[in-house]
Amino acid sequence: MIKKLILPLGIVLVLVNIAILYLDDDGRVGRTNVIQKWEQVTAQDVKETLTVPGVLTSANEVPVYLEADAGTVSEMLVEPGDTVEEGEDLFTYQVADYAETYRELTASITSLDEQVAAVEQAISEAGESDVAASAFSEDVIVPETIEEPENEEDAVTASEALQQATEEQTAQLQEQYLISLEKELADRNAELTAAEDQLAGLEETGEYVTVTSPSSGTVKSIDGSGNKPIITIQGSELVITGELTEAERKQVQHAMTIEAKLEDGPALEGEITELAEQPAATVEKESTYKYEASYFAEDEQADKLLAGYHLDADIILAYASQAPAVKPEQIKDNQVWKMANGQLFTTKVEVGAQNDKQAAITTGLEAGEFIPVNQGDHYQNEPFVTPWKPQKVNWSTWSDSFTSYEFLLGLLDH
């Protein structure tokens, strides 16, 4: 009789349990999560990038003029396609008025001397920290405070972080300013040398002046018809240029780092130097905006680069250094399941830089914590069990484990 009742009673018991779990909307009945595999959160460098097409082009085209009333070309010393260095002779012209040309050259030398002195003074002042702080105070972007500090210690930490960020931005702006000043000084010195050489040639011949190249590059064109300019030089310095869509333009900002790789060529790294505010073209409803980026390359690498080479450029939109990182699919509704004190629960996280494989966590998760590999539907604040892995058991102490209270509980859970 009892044997006949066992099966019906078992079925009733199962159905009752199912009904209890189904009707338990308040979560009063305990549940156990089964987690097949765990992984430990590690600290990683995470880059969030935007890949756009680019092409190497000359940084600038330098026109070389000869005023119609200054004289006439007597000898052209270069041809289209010739490579010239800064200061190399381009052409000689016969002056129309010696005295007038002499006065113009001496006045130009005096003016350039003053400009060189002014730039040198600016460079010396830019190196002073107090001058730099006042000069760049308006350009420093102060980070917005996301949350109010909860206590005095947090307030001090936030203040120190803000001060450090401000100092770093000021130092960066100061460095960029010094680089621009040094470039301007080099340009003014080159113009001064050219003017002095022209004056020396005029004094020596009495009627001829030789014009030299203001920069290194390739002679793009020569116009002997008297139209301006006489010669156009394509600069040897190359930059990365390309176009951004409307959506891409909204993400890109000045001074963002850019990385590019040429096929069978060197890797290039630089920053966005120019970003168009007006569209270059409008195709139906989509506009495109031009960008330009400078880069650094070693001399032996630069020799392998030519204008016209195409490449794919990665613009770094965000970067996280050694931040706790998880897979993007492990985050759902800004939450991640994690283990703590033998239970499984969700924690709210904030995500920083992310890509297809990584997502940097700024708050809510620390490196070293354990999370389920598969972030599925689990029971909140409930215990968990994992598959038994005999290969990880220390069999030398198996008898102690077998008689332990924890082992028996684990066996019952499984």
Q: Is residue 145's pLDDT more than 50?
A: no
Question: Do residues 302 and 256 both lie within one domain?
Answer: yes
Question: Do residues 117 and 226 both lie within one domain?
Answer: yes
Tokens of 346: 């969700």
CA separation for the pair 93, 82 (Å, rounded) = 20
Indicate the residue among 193, 212, 235 that finishes a domain: 235
Question: Do residues 279 and 292 both lie within one domain?
Answer: yes
Q: Is residue 128's pLDDT more than 80?
A: no
Indicate the residue among 235, 262, 297 that finishes a domain: 235
Question: Do residues 314 and 334 both lie within one domain?
Answer: no
Question: Do residues 80 and 10 both lie within one domain?
Answer: no
Instruction: Find out whether 407 and 388 touch, Cβ atoms under 8 Å.
Output: no
Question: Do residues 11 and 36 both lie within one domain?
Answer: no
Q: Is residue 337's pLDDT more than 90?
A: no
Instruction: Return the number of other C-beta atoms located less than 10 Å from residue 257's C-beta.
Output: 16
User: Given phi > 0 = left and psi -120 to 50 = alpha, else beta, which region is 190?
Assistant: alpha
Question: Do residues 181 and 69 both lie within one domain?
Answer: yes
User: Given phi > 0 = left and psi -120 to 50 = alpha, else beta, which region is 194?
Assistant: alpha
CA separation for the pair 365, 149 (Å, rounded) = 19
Region 139-143: mean pLDDT is 49
Of 223 and 384, more confident: 223
- CA terminus-to-terminus distance, the chain: 32
Question: Do residues 312 and 408 both lie within one domain?
Answer: no
CATH number of the domain to which 305 belongs: 2.40.30.170
pTM above 0.75, yes or no: no
- Note the pLDDT tens digit of each residue in 194-210: 899 999 999 999 899 99
Question: Do residues 248 and 219 both lie within one domain?
Answer: no
Indicate the residue among 209, 235, 261 that finishes a domain: 235
- Note the pLDDT tens digit of each residue in 364-398: 999 999 888 887 766 565 665 566 666 665 656 65
Number of domains in the chain: 4
pLDDT for 259? 93
To which residue do tokens 């009627």 refer? 207
Of 325 and 297, more confident: 325
- Note the pLDDT tens digit of each residue in 156-173: 666 666 666 666 776 777
Region 297-314: mean pLDDT is 81
Question: Do residues 177 and 261 both lie within one domain?
Answer: no
| Helix or strand holding residue 28 (H, E) | none
Full domain range(s) for residue 267: 49-56+237-320
What letters, b where the CB count within 10 A reaches 16 and e where it falls short, cover 10-25?
Answer: eeeeeeeeeeeeeeee
